[in-house]
């Protein structure tokens, strides 16, 4: 192999190394950047904004962690107070915080006389099958009061949109907790992070307030 060919091969190899290094750095930057706003939210953990909202919920079919179908009409029925959040199991930023809060609240619900149910709905239904949600529930030691749901992609998007929670990509999702007391059409919307103790206070306030 002559000197010219060796030099050419060396240049090609160097170019390939540079291209690979550039691609890798872009991927790392993109991954870090996609979580930047989530990390900023976590710095303000346990801060939130509360509002009262009315929502029109479409009639959809979801699946629980056992693979059984449930309609949203039944899921959001008026016979109990419910708390709803949106999560996905591979999220490693705000979802563990929200699920940790629900886990703590789940253990405190025995202090409440009225029936209360926690509902977590995945925004990544392609990955979060009933089996995956079952393992996730076990990880957070969820009781029978804490339900997990998945469904068809289009239905999950429709449901998020109805609650003004859809942000396009799952990487853009934001922490939202929705509370509705039994026999009420109004929802208390909490944007941000509220502790389990604060959510418990909100539930008690709703249950003692007059309709």
pLDDT tens column, 144-165: 999 999 999 999 999 999 999 9
Assigned token pair, 153: 């992609």
Whether residues 89 and 155 fall in one domain:
yes
- Phi first, then psi: what are they for 40, rounded to 5°? -65, -40
The string of DSSP codes covering the chain is: --HHHHHHHHHHHHHHHHHHHHHHHHHHHHHHHHTHHHHHHHHTTT-EEEEEEE------EEEETTS-EEEHHHHT-TTSEEEEEEE-TT--SHHHHHHHHHHHHHHHGGG-SS-EEEEEEES-TTT--HHHHHHHHHHTT--TTEEEEEE-HHHHHHHHHHTT---SSGGG---EEEEE-TT--EEEEEEE---HHHHHHHHHHHHHS--
Whether residues 127 and 182 fall in one domain:
yes
Distance of alpha carbon 210 from alpha carbon 62, whole angstroms: 32
Can you give the residue range of the structural domain that contains 51? Answer: 40-208
Q: Return the residue matching tokens 């929670």.
A: 165
Whether residues 18 and 50 fall in one domain:
no
Whether residues 12 and 68 fall in one domain:
no
Domain CATH for 48: 3.40.30.10
Instruction: Give the pLDDT of residue 209.
Output: 76
The number of CA neighbours under 13 Å toward the Cβ of 44 is 12
Whether residues 109 and 92 fall in one domain:
yes
Instruction: Give the pLDDT of residue 2.
Output: 56
Whether residues 122 and 176 fall in one domain:
yes
Whether residues 122 and 52 fall in one domain:
yes
pTM, two decimals, is 0.79
Q: What is the domain count for the chain?
A: 2
**Rounded (5°) CA angle 54-63-145:** 70
Q: Are 175 and 100 in contact (CB under 8 A)?
A: no
Regions in the chain scoring below 70 on pLDDT = 1-46, 113, 210-211
pLDDT tens column, 125-144: 999 999 999 999 999 999 99
Whether residues 26 and 111 fall in one domain:
no
Whether residues 64 and 10 fall in one domain:
no
Q: Are 174 and 167 in contact (CB under 8 A)?
A: yes
What is the bridge-based pairing of β-strands 81-87 and 61-64?
A: unpaired
Whether residues 142 and 178 fall in one domain:
yes
**Nearby residues of 113 by Cβ (< 8 Å), 6 or more positions away:** none
Whether residues 25 and 119 fall in one domain:
no
21-32 burial, b if ≥16 CB within 10 A, otherwise e? eeeeeeeeeeee
């Amino acid at each position: 192999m002559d000197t010219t060919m060796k030099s050419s091969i060396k240049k090609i190899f160097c170019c390939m190394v540079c291209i690979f290094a550039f691609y890798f750095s872009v991927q790392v930057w993109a991954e870090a950047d996609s979580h930047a706003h989530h990390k900023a939210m976590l710095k303000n953990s346990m801060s939130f904004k509360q509002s009262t909202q009315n929502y029109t919920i479409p009639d959809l079919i979801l699946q629980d962690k056992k693979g059984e179908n449930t309609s949203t009409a039944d899921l959001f029925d008026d016979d109990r107070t419910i708390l709803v959040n949106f999560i996905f199991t591979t999220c490693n930023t705000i979802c563990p915080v929200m699920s940790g809060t629900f886990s703590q609240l789940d253990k405190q619900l025995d202090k409440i006389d009225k029936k209360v149910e926690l509902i977590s709905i995945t925004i990544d239904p392609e990955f979060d099958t009933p089996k995956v949600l079952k393992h996730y529930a076990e990880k957070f030691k969820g009781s029978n009061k804490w339900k997990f749901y998945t469904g068809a992609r289009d239905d999950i998007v429709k449901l998020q949109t109805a609650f003004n929670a859809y942000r396009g990509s799952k990487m853009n999702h934001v922490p939202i907790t929705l509370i509705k007391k039994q026999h009420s059409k109004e929802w208390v919307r909490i944007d941000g992070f509220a502790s389990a103790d604060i959510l418990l206070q909100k539930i008690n306030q709703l249950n003692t307030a007059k309709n």
